[in-house]
C-alpha cells in the first residue's frame, strides 16, 4: 500500500525524491495538477504533515508551484527538470562508483565492466 | 486553542507501584502521535487518565482546556485494546447508541465504512468474529468528529491487510483541528504516519520529539531508537 | 442524557425479563382455558406453575438487575459506559429508576394475574367490587389517597433500598481485584447490619430512615465509581 522508505533519512526527503523520480520517468507529466495533500498522503501511506513538508521542499526546488486557489502543479520548465534529472543521475553514479570502489573496482575497471555488460545487453 | 492536551507532573500510583511518574506534555492539534513503550510502561495508564477511567494521584491534566470530565468525554474518542461491544445489540443499534450519546457522531460516514467492509447493519454483534468486531469498533470510534482520538494498540494482533485498512482509515480521517494518539509497540508499521513520538519507560518520559527530528538528529529510524532504548 | 441512559437500561432488562412476563400471562390465560374446559386437575397444575413463575419473576428481576449493574460497569462494557459524556450519578440513577420500574412491573403483573385467576373462579368478585360513590366522603377520599400514597412510597423505598444496597455492595466488591465476589457479599452483610443499626439508633419511622439509607448507599456507589474505578 505505502511507498517504500529507508530508515536512515527523514521520510519527507524520501517522498520528495520519489515524486521527482515519478516526474523524470514520466509517471507524472509536466504541468500536471497534483492531487490534494491528503490524497497524496494516503497514497504514500504517510502523515499529511509529512507530505506537506515534502511538497514544500519541492516548491523550494521549484519542481512544483502552488496556485493559491487551484492547487499545486508540476513545473513546465523542461530545461530545469532535465538539469535536475542529470544532477540526480550524477549523484546516483557517484554512489555507484563508491560502492564499486568498496569491492575493489577502480573507475577504469568499472567502466570496462560496464561496457562489457551494456554491449551484451541492449 | 493550539494545544489539545496539556499535562503537568501527572502521576499515578497503584498502591505501592508507580504507573506514571511526573509526566509533563503539551500536545498540539493536528498531529498524529505515537505513544511508544513496552508493555507495562505506562501507556495504557496515561490513556486511561485521559479518558477518565482512572483518576490521577497528583498533577494536572486538561484536554481542550477542560479538566477530565463530561466536557472532555464529549471531544475525546477512545478505542480501547479490548472490544467493549460484546453484547446483544445489532450493528444498527450500536449506530443509534453512538448517535444518541455523541453529538459529533457522523452516522453516514460510519454507514459508508461498514458498507465498504460488507458488514450488514442487521448483523448481530455477538455472532461476529473477533476481527470483525474490532473493525466495527474502529469504525464507530473514527466516525466521531472528535478533537482527540486515543487508540490503544489498534494494530496489535491484527492481520497485515487489516492493519493497512486501519492505517488508511486513520489517515483518511485526519483533520487539522484534531490529534490522534496511537499507543503501540509495533513501530515499524506505523512510523511513516507519525508526526511525533513519545517514548515512555517504566512510567517515565524518555523522549518527546518529531519523527523527522529523530531521523535527522540521531540518524536512526524510530524503530531502531525504540530497540536501543528498550533492549532487554 | 439521562433519558438516553434510561432507554438502554429498559431495552436491556426488558429483553431478559420478557420471557418471564410472557410465561406469567400465558399461565394465567391457560388457567382460564382449563377452567372453562372444566379440567380442574390440569388447572391446578397450571396454577402451581403460575406460583412458581411468580417466584421466578421475583428472583430473576433481582438477578437481572444485579447482572446488568455488574456487566455494564465492570465488564469490558465498562470501557464504553464510563467514557460516555455523562455524570456518574446519571449512570446510577438511570439504572435505579429502570430497576424500580421493573420491580413494580413484576409486582403489578403478579397481582393482575392472580386477580384474573380469582375472577375466573368467582366472577362475582367483580360485581362485589362496587366503588361506593354514594357513601364516600371527602375525608374518606383523603384518607384513602394518603394510605395509598404511603403504600406506594413504602414499597418504593423498600425496593430502592434493596437495589441500592446491591449496587453499593457490588461496587465495594470491585475495589478488590482478587476477591471481588467475596468482598461484595461481605459488603452486603455489612451494609445490611449497618442499615439495621442506623434505623434503630435514629429511631425515626421507616419512611425517613429508608430515604436516608438510600442516600448513603447512593453516595457510596457514586464515590467508588467516580474515584476508585479500576477496570481490567
Contact across the interface for C83 and B85, Cβ inside 8 Å: no
How would DSSP label each residue in A52-107? HHHHHHHHHTTSEEEETTTEEEE---HHHHHHHHHHHHHHHHHHHHHHHHHTT--H
- Residue B153 C-alpha cell reads as 494498540
Q: What would the pLDDT profile of C76-105 be if each residue is shown by its tens digit?
A: 999 999 999 999 999 999 999 999 999 999
CB-CB neighbors (< 8 A) of B212 in chain A: 10-12, 50, 53
Contact across the interface for B100 and C84, Cβ inside 8 Å: no
Distance CA C26, CA C17 (A): 14
- In B, minimum Cα distance to A15 occurs at B192
Mean pLDDT of B65-78: 96
Query: Confidence class of residue C56 from pLDDT cuts 50, 70 and 90?
Result: very high
Residue percentage of chain B with pLDDT more than 70? 99
Distance CA B38, CA C29 (A): 64
Beta carbons within 10 angstroms of residue A74's beta carbon: 21
Of B146, B162, B149, B227, nearest to B191 by C-alpha is B227
Contact across the interface for C79 and B80, Cβ inside 8 Å: yes
How would DSSP label each residue in chain C? -HHHHHHHHHHHHHHHHHHHHHHHHHHHHHHHHHHHTT-HHHHHHHHHHHHHHHHHHHHHHHHHHHHHHHHHHHSTTHHHHTTSSS-HHHHHHHHHHHHHHHHHHHHHHHHHHHHHHHHHH-THHHHH----TTT--HHHHHHHHHHHHHHHHHHHHHHHHHHHHHHHHHHHHHT-SSSHHHHHHHHHHHHHHHHHHHHHHH---HHHHHHHHHHHHHHHHHHHHHHS----
Mean pLDDT of B156-161: 79
Q: Which tops the pLDDT comparison, C215 or A76?
A: C215
CB-CB neighbors (< 8 A) of B100 in chain C: 4, 7
The sign of the CA dihedral C142, C143, C144, C149 is positive
Mean pLDDT of B18-26: 92
Query: Confidence class of residue B221 from pLDDT cuts 50, 70 and 90?
Result: confident
Do B27 and B179 touch, CB atoms closer than 8 A? yes
Look at residue C216 and tell me whether its pLDDT is greater than 70: yes
E runs forming strands in chain B: 3-14, 17-28, 32-36, 58-63, 66-67, 76-79, 148-152, 179-184, 196-201, 204-210
Report residue A96 CA to chain centroid gap: 16
Contact across the interface for C80 and B53, Cβ inside 8 Å: no
Do B138 and B79 touch, CB atoms closer than 8 A? yes
- In B, minimum Cα distance to A7 occurs at B221
CB-CB neighbors (< 8 A) of B219 in chain A: 8
Residue B193 has its nearest CB partner, among A12, A38, A45, at A45
Q: Give the C-side interface with B, CB within 8 Å.
A: 1, 4, 7-8, 12, 15, 76-80, 82-87, 226-227, 229-231
C/A Cβ contact: 3+ pairs below 8 Å = no
Q: How many CA atoms lie within 13 A of C42 on its CB side?
A: 11
Q: How far is B15 from chain C (nearest CA, A)?
A: 12
- Residues 6 or more apart from B23 whose CB is under 8 A from it? B7, B9, B10, B11, B42, B46, B59, B204, B205
pLDDT at residue C166, as a whole number: 97
Mean per-residue pLDDT over chain C, rounded: 90
* pTM of the predicted structure, to 2 decimals: 0.88
3-state secondary structure B165-187: HHHHHHHHCCCCCCEEEEEECCH
pLDDT at residue C232, as a whole number: 79
Mean pLDDT of A10-36: 90
Distance CA B121, CA C138 (A): 59
Q: What would the pLDDT profile of C110-160 be if each residue is shown by its tens digit?
A: 999 888 888 877 777 776 666 666 667 777 788 888 888 999 999 999 999
CB-CB neighbors (< 8 A) of A47 in chain B: 32, 171, 174, 192-195
Mean pLDDT of A82-98: 90
Top mean pLDDT of A59-68, B165-174, C219-228 is at C219-228
Look at residue A122 and tell me whether its pLDDT is greater than 60: no
Q: Which tops the pLDDT comparison, B200 or C118?
A: B200
Of C11, C8, C13, C156, nearest to C86 by C-alpha is C8
Look at residue B34 and tell me whether its pLDDT is greater than 90: yes
- Give per-residue burial for C167-180: e unless 16+ CB within 10 Å, then b: bbbbbbbbeeeeeb
Query: Confidence class of residue B35 from pLDDT cuts 50, 70 and 90?
Result: very high
Mean pLDDT of B62-90: 92
pLDDT at residue C121, as a whole number: 78
CB-CB neighbors (< 8 A) of C6 in chain B: none
Q: What would the pLDDT profile of B74-85 be if each residue is shown by its tens digit?
A: 999 999 998 888
Amino acid at each position: 500500500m505505502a511507498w517504500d522508505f529507508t530508515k536512515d533519512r527523514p521520510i519527507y526527503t524520501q517522498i520528495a525524491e520519489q515524486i521527482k523520480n515519478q516526474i523524470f520517468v514520466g509517471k507524472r507529466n509536466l504541468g500536471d495538477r497534483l492531487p490534494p495533500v491528503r490524497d497524496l498522503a494516503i497514497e504514500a501511506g504517510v502523515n499529511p504533515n509529512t507530505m506537506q513538508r515534502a511538497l514544500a521542499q519541492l516548491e523550494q526546488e521549484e519542481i512544483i508551484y502552488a496556485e493559491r486557489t487551484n492547487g499545486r502543479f508540476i513545473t513546465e520548465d523542461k530545461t530545469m527538470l532535465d538539469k535536475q534529472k542529470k544532477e540526480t543521475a550524477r549523484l546516483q553514479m557517484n554512489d555507484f562508483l563508491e560502492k564499486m570502489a568498496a569491492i575493489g573496482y577502480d573507475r577504469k575497471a568499472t567502466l570496462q565492466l560496464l561496457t562489457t555488460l551494456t554491449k551484451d545487453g541492449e | 486553542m493550539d494545544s489539545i492536551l496539556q499535562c503537568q507532573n501527572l502521576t499515578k500510583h497503584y498502591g505501592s507501584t508507580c504507573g506514571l511518574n511526573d509526566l509533563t506534555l503539551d500536545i498540539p492539534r493536528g498531529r498524529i502521535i505515537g505513544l511508544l513503550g513496552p508493555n507495562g510502561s505506562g501507556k495504557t495508564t496515561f490513556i486511561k487518565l485521559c479518558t477518565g477511567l482512572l483518576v490521577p494521584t497528583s498533577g494536572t491534566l486538561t484536554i481542550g482546556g477542560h479538566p477530565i470530565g463530561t466536557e472532555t468525554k464529549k471531544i475525546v474518542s477512545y478505542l480501547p485494546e479490548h472490544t467493549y461491544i460484546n453484547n446483544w445489540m445489532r450493528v444498527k443499534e450500536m449506530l443509534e447508541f453512538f448517535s444518541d450519546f455523541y453529538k459529533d457522531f457522523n452516522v453516514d460516514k460510519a454507514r459508508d465504512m461498514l458498507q465498504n467492509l460488507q458488514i450488514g447493519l442487521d448483523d448481530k454483534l455477538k455472532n461476529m468474529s473477533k476481527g470483525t468486531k474490532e473493525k466495527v469498533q474502529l469504525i464507530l470510534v473514527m466516525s466521531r468528529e472528535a478533537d482527540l482520538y486515543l487508540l490503544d494498540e489498534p494494530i496489535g494482533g491484527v492481520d497485515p491487510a487489516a492493519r493497512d485498512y486501519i492505517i488508511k482509515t486513520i489517515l483518511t480521517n485526519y483533520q487539522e483541528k484534531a490529534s490522534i494518539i496511537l499507543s503501540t509497540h509495533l513501530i515499524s508499521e506505523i512510523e511513516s504516519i507519525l508526526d511525533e513520538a513519545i517514548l515512555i519507560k517504566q512510567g517515565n518520559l524518555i523522549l518527546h520529539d518529531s519523527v523527522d527530528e529523530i531521523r535527522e538528529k540521531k540518524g536512526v529510524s524510530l524503530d531502531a531508537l525504540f530497540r536501543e532504548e528498550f533492549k532487554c | 442524557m439521562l433519558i438516553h441512559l434510561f432507554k438502554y437500561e429498559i431495552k436491556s432488562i426488558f429483553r431478559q425479563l420478557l420471557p418471564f412476563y410472557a410465561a406469567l400471562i400465558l399461565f394465567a390465560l391457560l388457567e382460564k382455558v382449563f377452567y372453562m374446559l372444566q379440567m380442574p386437575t390440569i388447572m391446578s397444575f397450571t396454577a402451581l406453575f403460575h406460583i412458581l413463575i411468580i417466584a421466578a419473576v421475583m428472583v430473576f428481576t433481582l438477578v437481572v438487575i444485579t447482572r446488568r449493574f455488574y456487566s455494564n460497569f465492570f465488564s469490558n462494557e465498562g470501557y464504553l459506559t464510563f467514557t460516555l459524556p455523562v455524570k456518574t450519578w446519571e449512570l446510577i440513577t438511570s439504572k435505579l429508576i429502570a430497576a424500580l420500574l421493573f420491580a413494580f412491573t413484576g409486582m403489578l403483573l403478579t397481582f393482575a394475574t392472580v386477580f384474573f385467576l380469582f375472577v375466573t373462579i368467582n366472577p362475582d368478585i367483580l360485581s362485589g367490587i362496587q366503588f361506593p360513590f354514594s357513601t364516600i366522603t371527602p375525608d374518606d377520599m383523603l384518607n384513602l389517597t394518603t394510605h395509598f400514597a404511603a403504600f406506594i412510597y413504602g414499597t418504593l423505598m423498600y425496593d430502592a433500598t434493596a437495589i441500592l444496597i446491591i449496587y453499593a455492595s457490588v461496587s465495594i466488591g470491585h475495589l478488590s481485584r482478587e476477591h471481588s465476589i467475596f468482598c461484595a457479599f461481605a459488603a452486603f452483610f455489612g451494609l445490611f447490619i449497618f442499615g439495621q443499626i442506623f434505623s434503630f439508633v435514629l429511631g425515626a419511622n421507616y419512611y425517613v430512615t429508608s430515604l436516608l439509607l438510600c442516600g448513603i448507599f447512593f453516595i457510596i456507589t457514586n464515590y467508588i465509581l467516580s474515584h476508585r474505578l479500576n477496570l481490567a
